[in-house]
């Protein structure tokens, strides 16, 4: 069977057909010719098997069974039915059928697939008395008909399903890079040649590890199809098992147990790294590579020889917004310029505007498609002249932006604010405060200053309020450049310590969610953050990975008020976030505390804050729960609250409660939707049931249009202390929060 010449067509992702043609020629295929998104070739069955086993960029490999003219749907049916299908298909097995192309009598591909299936099944029933089942997923035989006008080519899909499915990826993150596209990127970047000379490989944003694993498979001469347990030819009656087993044995013998290259992937997301490590283990390349948790700014080369940095940075949609993507590209560009001189870089980008933030010149750009997303593969020589020129141009543009009239007005306002606020902060012993908060509406930023408690090094957390649709996008970008150009000079903070975020209206689980990650993914706050000091206490902040930093600066006086009230109290902190309020209460002499939140990540952060201040976890319990459900249970007849004492009636009582819910949340982990304007009466009612006779409830909300529900002030003694809890750096925005002290009426 293997000596018979066959005609084949192999398909590939758009932009990679030339690489596929080269692969097929290296496998010994004949008559190789590019045609659109595929390559036609000829050879014995072995040529098709080798393509399935060894091609790194092929999507499918089709073996031609018939070639005919059919001007109508009925003629198409008759031509297909005339084929001896019993020579190809076991009627006890299963089939799937597909139809593509433009045909004069078949105007719908689904109808064409049905006519193909009917013709095959009718012929098998007539010849054998039985017909195969239809199985869309992993059938024994998959048939494909393609029409070019009345000319139809009928083929057997040797792959059965996409060859990008190597068999190692059972779990992936959102919008993963297909394996064969990843391999094509590596071939474009000439990784096989670099691997031969032992060059280092790094993907600094590796996600689930696809590029790193494919790089290890190339360096280790691992056949990409070796781990697959399914091919379309395995159920075909023309299959040659002995030939296939021989090719697999050859592939197994060629696979190397070690490589000369150092192959690494890094990411800030611990969950992504765990998925990547599991994928590498299934691919059989785990010993050839390693994964590390690192931010992009921290990655470095580990060998002296130049290497290849290849990555697929998150697109704006995956990261959450364009501003975040631009900031990430800028950080990547700074890292490449500073620490990877002499390396080659290959960066897949879906946005030319975002890619400009790299400030690096591409010597070659390839047009590719990641699924339906058009992308550009940027190939950059970091040893080539021009990288410094690009950086110089960037600095020149920044200088020009800083010299513009708008930037001068912004800088003047910053200087005025800083002169006043720095004096107030020094008197109050405050090292973290807000310097600017959209004082000039056209420069809609919030600029917060954070000083590292151990070193005194100052960082800026800059939040850009998302402009309304009526604002011209180009004007918004110009103002952003002007603001960012002014900040280093006025506040004496270098650009690498300025952390930019886009502030949008948050909803649901986005309230405190890590950017570009699931609601409970790592890293921990200390991984990419530092400790700051406030009120003689220390708190971990993270300015890179989350929209909020871990310490709400506008709650500074609210926390101080809790410390005043906490002596000897049993304290309850609901929606505790990172438990900074709990640390204050404990420092004020609280007898015991209980902090409740739904997020494992923030409870871990809370525990770190407690440890940082030397607080005994035995006295300060953390509990994971939906706070609304916890309150309903705790305020009921049998509801336990273990950290609090029990009154004579058996109900638990707290002397001090802090209630600071999000404005709105529809997190999938919560029961129902939380709307603070609608739900605050119920929350307050349950808290008051848990409050001791002389206790105090502090209720705080950042809802901009919040109004206390009618009737509450008749039931409880309520004092609006919003103005008293407004720190000196937030007096320009009195609506930043509302805060109430609530006590029993008698």
DSSP string, 262-278: -EEEEES-HHHHHHHHH
Average pLDDT, the chain: 88
pLDDT digits over 268-316, tens only?
A: 999 999 999 999 999 999 999 999 999 999 999 998 888 999 999 986 5
Q: Write down the pLDDT at residue 171.
A: 67
Rg (CA), the chain: 32
Return the higher-pLDDT residue of 173 and 147: 147
Q: Write down the pLDDT at residue 434.
A: 96
How far apart are alpha carbons 334 and 129 in whole angstroms?
70
User: Percentage of the chain surpassing pLDDT 90?
Assistant: 71
Residue 518: pLDDT band with limits 50, 70, 90 = very low
**Rounded average pLDDT over 193-208:** 94
Q: Which two tokens stand for residue 221?
A: 């001469």
Secondary structure of residue 567 in the 3-state scheme: coil
Q: Which two tokens stand for residue 265?
A: 């992937």
For the chain, helix, strand, coil in percent to 5 are 35, 25, 40
CB neighbours of residue 671 within 10 Å: 10
Return the higher-pLDDT residue of 733 and 697: 697
Secondary structure of residue 474 in the 3-state scheme: helix
Secondary structure of residue 161 in the 3-state scheme: coil
Give me the phi and psi of 722, to 5 degrees please.
-55, -50
Q: Which two tokens stand for residue 12?
A: 């590939």
- Domain ranges (residues) in the chain: 6-157, 179-221+256-384, 393-504, 546-744
13-17, 119-123, 510-514: the lowest-pLDDT one:
510-514
| Residue 86 DSSP one-character state | G
**Rounded average pLDDT over 596-623:** 92
How far apart are alpha carbons 285 and 261 in whole angstroms?
13
Do 67 and 148 contact (CB within 8 A), yes or no?
no
pLDDT > 70? residue 512:
no
User: How far, in Å, are 107, 125, 204, 234 from residue 129 at the CA level?
Assistant: 32, 4, 59, 23
pLDDT > 50? residue 644:
no
Residue 324: pLDDT band with limits 50, 70, 90 = confident
| pTM attached to this predicted model | 0.59
pLDDT > 50? residue 517:
no
Contacts of 564 (CB under 8 A, 6+ apart): 588
How far apart are alpha carbons 71 and 69 in whole angstroms?
7
Q: Write down the pLDDT at residue 740.
A: 97
Q: Write down the pLDDT at residue 399.
A: 65
User: How far, in Å, are 677, 684, 696 from residue 744 at the CA level?
Assistant: 22, 12, 8
Secondary structure of residue 176 in the 3-state scheme: coil
How far apart are alpha carbons 548 and 503 in whole angstroms?
9
Which CATH architecture fits 393-504?
2-Layer Sandwich (3.30)
How far apart are alpha carbons 431 and 533 in whole angstroms?
7
User: How far, in Å, are 15, 172, 256, 590, 704 from residue 218 at the CA level?
Assistant: 20, 21, 10, 61, 56
Of the candidates 584, 594, 573, 596, which has an alpha carbon nearest to the alpha carbon of residue 658? 573
Burial class (CB in 10 A: 0-12, 13-18, 19+), 637: exposed
User: How close are the terminal C-alpha atoms of the chain, in Å?
Assistant: 96
How far apart are alpha carbons 423 and 433 in whole angstroms?
12
Cα torsion at 266, 218, 347, 57 (round to 10°)?
A: -130
How far apart are alpha carbons 291 and 552 in whole angstroms?
34
Fold of 6-157: VC0802-like (3.30.2130)
pLDDT > 60? residue 670:
no
Residue 515: pLDDT band with limits 50, 70, 90 = very low
Q: Which two tokens stand for residue 721?
A: 């202390």
pLDDT digits over 547-561, tens only?
A: 789 999 999 999 999
How far apart are alpha carbons 352 and 119 in whole angstroms?
49
Secondary structure of residue 221 in the 3-state scheme: coil
CATH code given to domain 546-744: 3.40.50.150
How far is Cα of residue 306 from the mean position of the Cα atoms in its chain? 29
pLDDT > 90? residue 582:
yes
286-300, 537-551, 648-662: the lowest-pLDDT one:
648-662
Of the candidates 564, 565, 543, which has an alpha carbon nearest to the alpha carbon of residue 553? 543
Residue 646: pLDDT band with limits 50, 70, 90 = very low
Q: Write down the pLDDT at residue 645.
A: 43
How far apart are alpha carbons 432 and 448 in whole angstroms?
7
95-104, 291-300, 497-506, 589-598: the lowest-pLDDT one:
497-506
Q: Write down the pLDDT at residue 482.
A: 87
User: Percentage of the chain surpassing pLDDT 70?
Assistant: 87
How far apart are alpha carbons 99 and 106 in whole angstroms?
10
Residue 511: pLDDT band with limits 50, 70, 90 = very low
pLDDT digits over 215-239, tens only?
A: 999 999 999 999 999 999 999 999 9
Cis, peptide link before residue 90, omega less than 30° from 0: no
**Which residues are 447's β-sheet partners?**
436, 462
Residue 479: pLDDT band with limits 50, 70, 90 = confident
How far apart are alpha carbons 531 and 516 in whole angstroms?
24
179-221+256-384 homologous superfamily = Vaccinia Virus protein VP39 (3.40.50.150)
**Which residues are 349's β-sheet partners?**
376
Q: Write down the pLDDT at residue 642.
A: 45
Name residue, tokens 């005994």: 616
Asked if 179-221+256-384 and 546-744 have one fold, the answer is yes
Q: Write down the pLDDT at residue 319.
A: 40
pLDDT digits over 411-466, tens only?
A: 999 999 999 999 999 999 899 999 999 899 888 899 999 999 999 999 999 988 87
């Amino acid at each position: 069977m293997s000596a018979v010449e066959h005609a084949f067509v192999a398909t590939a992702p758009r932009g990679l057909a030339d690489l596929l043609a080269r692969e097929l020629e290296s496998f010994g295929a004949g008559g190789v010719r590019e045609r659109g998104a595929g390559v036609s070739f000829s050879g014995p069955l072995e040529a098709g098997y080798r393509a399935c086993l060894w091609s790194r960029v092929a999507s499918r490999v089709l073996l031609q069974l018939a070639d005919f003219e059919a001007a109508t749907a009925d003629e198409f049916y008759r031509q297909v039915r005339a084929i001896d299908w019993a020579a190809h298909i076991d009627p006890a097995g299963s089939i799937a059928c597909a139809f593509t192309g433009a045909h004069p009598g078949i105007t719908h591909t689904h109808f064409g697939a049905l006519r193909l299936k009917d013709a095959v099944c009718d012929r098998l029933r007539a010849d054998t008395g039985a017909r195969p089942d239809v199985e869309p997923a992993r059938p024994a035989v998959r048939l494909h008909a393609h029409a070019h006008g009345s000319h139809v080519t009928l083929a057997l899909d040797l792959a059965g399903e996409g060859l990008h499915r190597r068999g190692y990826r059972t779990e992936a993150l959102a919008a993963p890079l297909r394996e064969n596209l990843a391999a094509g990127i590596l071939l474009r970047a000439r990784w096989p040649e670099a691997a031969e000379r032992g060059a280092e490989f790094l993907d600094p944003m590796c996600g689930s590890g696809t590029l790193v694993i494919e790089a290890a498979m190339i360096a280790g001469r691992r056949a990409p199809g070796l781990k697959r347990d399914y091919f379309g030819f395995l159920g075909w009656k023309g299959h040659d098992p002995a030939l296939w087993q021989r090719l697999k044995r050859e592939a197994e013998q060629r696979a190397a147990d070690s490589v000369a290259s150092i192959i690494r992937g890094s990411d800030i997301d611990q969950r992504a790294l765990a998925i990547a490590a599991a994928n590498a283990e299934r691919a059989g390349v785990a010993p050839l590579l390693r994964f590390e948790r690192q931010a992009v700014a921290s990655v470095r080369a580990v060998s002296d020889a130049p290497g290849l940095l290849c990555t697929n940075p998150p697109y704006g949609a995956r990261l959450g917004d364009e501003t975040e993507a631009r900031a990430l590209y800028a950080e990547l560009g700074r890292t490449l310029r500073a620490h990877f001189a002499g390396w080659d870089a290959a960066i897949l980008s879906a946005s030319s505007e975002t890619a400009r933030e790299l400030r690096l010149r591409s010597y070659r750009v390839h047009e590719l498609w990641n699924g339906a997303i058009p992308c550009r593969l940027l190939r950059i020589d970091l040893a080539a002249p021009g990288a410094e020129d690009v950086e110089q141009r960037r600095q020149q543009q920044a200088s020009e932006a800083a010299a513009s009239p708008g930037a001068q007005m912004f800088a003047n306002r910053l200087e005025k604010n800083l002169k006043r606020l720095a004096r107030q902060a020094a008197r109050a012993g405050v090292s973290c405060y807000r310097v600017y908060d959209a004082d000039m509406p056209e420069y809609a930023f919030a600029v917060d200053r954070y000083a590292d408690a151990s070193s005194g090094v100052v960082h800026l957390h800059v939040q850009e309020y998302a402009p309304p649709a009526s604002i011209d996008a180009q004007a918004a970008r110009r103002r952003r450049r002007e603001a960012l150009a002014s900040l280093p000079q006025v506040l004496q903070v270098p650009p690498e310590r300025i952390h930019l975020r886009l502030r949008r209206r948050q909803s649901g689980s986005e309230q405190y969610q890590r950017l570009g990650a699931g609601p409970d993914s790592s890293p921990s706050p200390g991984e990419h953050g530092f400790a700051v000091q406030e009120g003689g206490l220390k708190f971990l902040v993270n300015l890179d990975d989350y929209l909020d930093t871990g310490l709400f600066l506008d709650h500074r006086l609210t926390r101080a008020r809790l410390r005043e009230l906490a002596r000897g109290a049993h304290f309850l902190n609901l929606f505790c976030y990172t438990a900074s309020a709990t640390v204050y209460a404990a420092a004020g002499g609280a007898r015991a505390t209980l902090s409740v939140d739904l997020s494992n990540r923030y409870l871990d952060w809370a525990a770190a804050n407690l440890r940082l201040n030397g607080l005994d976890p035995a006295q300060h319990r953390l509990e994971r729960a939906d706070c609304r459900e916890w309150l309903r249970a705790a305020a009921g007849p049998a509801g336990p609250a273990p950290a609090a004492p029990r009154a004579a009636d058996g109900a638990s009582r707290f002397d001090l409660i802090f209630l600071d819910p999000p404005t709105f949340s529809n997190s999938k982990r919560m029961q129902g939707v939380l709307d603070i304007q609608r739900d605050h009466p119920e929350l307050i009612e349950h808290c008051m049931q848990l409050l001791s006779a002389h206790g105090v409830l502090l209720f705080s909300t950042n809802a901009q249009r919040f109004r206390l529900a009618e009737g509450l002030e008749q039931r409880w003694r309520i004092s609006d202390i919003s103005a008293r809890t407004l720190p000196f750096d937030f007096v320009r925005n009195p609506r930043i929060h509302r805060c109430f002290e609530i006590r029993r009426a008698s």
